[in-house]
Structure 1
Amino acid sequence: MSTQVLRSDPASISFSSSSHLEVSSPQTRHALEIAARHLTELHPVVFPTETVYGLGALALNPSAASQIFSVKGRPPDNPLIVHVSSHDMLRSMLPSNFTIPKSYRALMKHFWPGPLTLLFPSDPSIVPSIITAGQSTVGIRMPSHPVARALITLTNAPIAAPSANSSGKPSPTAAEHVVRDLGDKVPVILDGGPCGVGLESTVIDGLSSDNTIRVLRPGGVTVEDIERALKEEAENGDSIPRVLVHRRDFRDAQLEASPTTPGMKYRHYSPSVPVTLLMTLSSPPEGVSSINANSYLSSLQNSIAKVGSTLKIGLLFLSDSRLGRLALPESSRLQWHRYDMGPSADPSVAARRLFDGLLTLDAEGVDMILIEEVVEKDEGLAIMNRAQKAAGELQWISF
């Protein structure tokens, strides 16, 4: 299959109302129409969102949705998130007797369109089981990226879209990432430039009756953002829902065995080379020792004999951290490939750069990648969620 990479200018797209689309660029309009036609003909296409690039297909057509799994090599028990372009489209997917909870209305007011996925009850007569992996809920979000919203609007149908990468690999945040990975497996890639958030959407479940919001996957909307929005929208006498983060605040073995949302069961975000997460901030668990940073980095030279030539090491670091400022050991057979994730005070920069860093270093042919730990606050929680899933090893470091 020959893939068309079609430039789509987000700045040329606007919505004069919630669903009335206007596109000032003829080139972009043509690209969107080509992609929409492929979708309606049941072919998958790649498009940008504010989080990562998505591999899209008609969500309510099982034949179309099945192609997502074959292109990605995705396990069938890994559910898909559905993208909508309007509240009317959302309502068309929900059971007729379902009332949207007040907490959801508050979060939708603040974060839709945007990188927030909400779990809703799934009506199997509307949503195919291939989308939900047989679960009773379906994850739905309304993307804020103009190209994504325009494509859904033109197609006039909900679009299921996981990240546009081979299953288990880092998610793409630029069109060139998709080209390198999926190659000619899709007919169309809409190139809308780099993604602004760089990590997948936050997924929450607020359907329980215990007045909690459970964060199943941290992402582009932070826990702090969610808590502020719920507090702001609370009326006098309202009990503000507690926000609980999976694996930090609660565990659910049944949920992990049969996940209701992507990213919970399988290893994700891993490039083709080994990844080690350097724990430079937290204390090691009991029985585990830390190693001095200089000693650890120098010890990596012992791996040269294993590769038989120059050892190429990729390092994702924070620009103002002690590790980032550390002088790296030099050797004629040791080559460092550094990738700056930005300042520690602004984790949104590191969130935007994490996947690009992994994919860039992988493309540069490094033999291993080291990722520096970040504080699990704001976007840092989502960064560490992805870094821990990408890493095959954790190493505690002291200075």
Structure 2
Amino acid sequence: MLRTIFHPILTQRQAAMLSTQVLACDPTTISFDSSSSQPKFSSQHSLDSLNLAAQNLIDLQPVAFPTETVYGLGALALNSAASSCIFAVKGRPPDNPLIVHVSSLDMLHSLLPSSFKMPKSYELLMKRFWPGALTLLFPSDPKVIPSIITANQPTVAIRMPSHPVARALIALVNAPIAAPSANSSGKPSPTTAEHVRRDLDGKLRVILDGGACGVGLESTVVDGLQQDGKIRVLRPGGITVEDIEQTLRHGHHDAPQVLVHRRDYRDEQLEAAPTTPGMKYRHYSPTAPVTLLMTSSPPPGGVVPSPIQSFFISLKNELHSSASVKIGVLALTDSALGTLPLPVVSGVEWCRYALGPVKDPSITAQRLFDGLLTLDQRGVDMILIEEVGEANEGLAVMNRVRKAASELQWVTF
């Protein structure tokens, strides 16, 4: 039984003085019965790590923990003071809402207005993708959900993670946990405990280390609450648009249309006052500037693509450096760029990072953030990243890359 001791909430200055523990927690030692939302443990060490993390949450302190998507920075979702610590640790703007994580359907229903009737589309999607990397928008009950979670919007974003450590942590606390990615606001999302430690060391007490995240990109966020009945993908992510469409077609005699924000429609009001993270502010940017190399999309009118070798040779001058420079290259393993010999340029050191094969964008999704963070850690002065096709997980990859990039450059081979 966890004891409950309430401490004063940490200010950002106080949080910077903390000693951070990284606690190993083996996800393979945690299991759930299909008939129960309560976890079972085969490792006392993992249970001890989870109990310590849970006690920190109950004490209103934030905790970093793994999910199947990225590492999250969690706090009690129904306590405004606890949730405010997330914003302080991350340096997160207050008008950027948080996703609430639950461990069971009973916990989900405890958050919803009694008058809410679950749409059939949601029932189908939850049956297929929960637990998993799908976030759904629900009406927010202001008597239950603090306004700091929703950024004063009428909806709340909720998901049930499938990672055993995340789900067990929520179950042990027996309360929903609000959790954005566990990184400084605007930086690439962490996919390992070491990524979190390098960024937030000294700003929180506990990081649960459950290994590398399997998906590597944040959850897909879906709004199915609009009167026209259409499904709107507000943020592509770990569940592909193709899988959502297929699930709705197979379970619905008159399947609703699926629209992707910024691909199929624009909503300026939503972008100004977002209902979900990742829509308004620049995200996913490492310290080094990122240039997106457009290798297959046609250039806009008036733009003449540069021959790739000429572009590479010109980079030293663009960096305005008389000293040697490091340039990182994130490229697909078997693409024209990935197999291209990089030119020998005086004063330039190339640092490659492979994003996986062209035909498997799920690997690219898994490796993207680690690639950005790894190259940053190696001290590169610039990062070049290759365009990928926007089918399946590639849509989410390009969503993140476009937000990380400060420049687009069309090139030819």
TM-score interval (norm. to shorter): over 0.9
Structure 2 residue 166 is matched with structure 1 residue 148: yes
Distance 2:138 2:386 in 1: 36
Structure 2 residue 61 is matched with structure 1 residue 47: no
Quote how far apart the aligned CAs of 1:311 are: 1.0
Q: Which one of 220, 226, 230 corresponds to residue 208 of structure 1?
A: 226
Corresponding residue for 1:398?
412
Structure 2 residue 201 is matched with structure 1 residue 187: no
Distance 1:211 1:159 in 2: 29
Quote how far apart the aligned CAs of 1:288 are: 1.7
Distance 2:310 2:401 in 1: 23
Which aligned pairs between 1:113-262 and structure 2 lie closer than 5 A? 113-234=131-252, 238-262=253-277
Distance 1:327 1:20 in 2: 53
**Structure 1 runs of 4+ off > 3 angstroms?**
none
Root-mean-square deviation over aligned CA pairs: 0.8
Matched position secondary structure for 1:324: coil
Conserved in 1, the CA contact under 8 Å of 2:313 and 2:345? no
Q: Which one of 349, 352, 377 corresponds to residue 338 of structure 1?
A: 352
Q: Could you tell me the TM-score, scaled by structure 2's length?
A: 0.95
Q: Give CA deviations for 1:311-343 in whole Å, capped at 9, x if unaligned.
A: 100000001100111111113411000000000
Which aligned pairs between 1:21-40 and structure 2 lie closer than 5 A? 21-40=39-58
Which aligned pairs between 1:243-322 and structure 2 lie closer than 5 A? 243-303=258-318, 306-322=320-336
Distance 1:271 1:398 in 2: 26
Matched position secondary structure for 2:185: coil
Q: Give CA deviations for 1:10-40 in whole Å, capped at 9, x if unaligned.
A: 0000012331210110000000000000000
Q: Could you tell me the TM-score, scaled by structure 1's length?
A: 0.98
Distance 1:122 1:152 in 2: 20
Deviates more, 1:18-27 or 1:110-119: 18-27
Quote how far apart the aligned CAs of 1:209 are: 1.9
Corresponding residue for 1:381?
395
Distance 1:293 1:255 in 2: 38
Quote how far apart the aligned CAs of 1:70 are: 0.3
Structure 2 residue 24 is matched with structure 1 residue 10: no
Deviates more, 1:23-32 or 1:288-297: 288-297
Distance 2:293 2:38 in 1: 48
List alignment gaps of at least 5 residues for structure 2: 1-17
Distance 2:276 2:302 in 1: 34
Matched position secondary structure for 1:100: coil
Corresponding residue for 1:66?
84
Structure 2 residue 338 is matched with structure 1 residue 324: yes
Conserved in 1, the CA contact under 8 Å of 2:38 and 2:168? no
Q: Which one of 95, 99, 120 corresponds to residue 81 of structure 1?
A: 99
Quote how far apart the aligned CAs of 1:349 are: 0.2
Q: Give CA deviations for 1:165-197 in whole Å, capped at 9, x if unaligned.
A: 000000000000000001110100000000000
| Partner AA of 1:24 in structure 2 | S
List alignment gaps of at least 5 residues for structure 1: none
Distance 2:165 2:395 in 1: 28
| Partner AA of 1:19 in structure 2 | S
Quote how far apart the aligned CAs of 1:302 are: 1.8
Matched position secondary structure for 1:32: helix
Corresponding residue for 1:371?
385
Q: Give CA deviations for 1:139-187 in whole Å, capped at 9, x if unaligned.
A: 0000000000000000000000000000000000000000000111010
Instruction: Determine what percentage of the aligned residue pairs are the same residue.
Output: 68
Matched position secondary structure for 1:325: coil
Matched position secondary structure for 2:403: helix
Distance 2:322 2:131 in 1: 51
Quote how far apart the aligned CAs of 1:268 are: 0.1
Structure 2 residue 109 is matched with structure 1 residue 91: yes
Conserved in 2, the CA contact under 8 Å of 1:80 and 1:160? yes
Distance 1:299 1:327 in 2: 16
Matched position secondary structure for 1:315: strand
Quote how far apart the aligned CAs of 1:262 are: 0.3
Distance 1:256 1:4 in 2: 37
Distance 2:207 2:157 in 1: 24
Conserved in 2, the CA contact under 8 Å of 1:268 and 1:386? yes
Matched position secondary structure for 1:296: helix
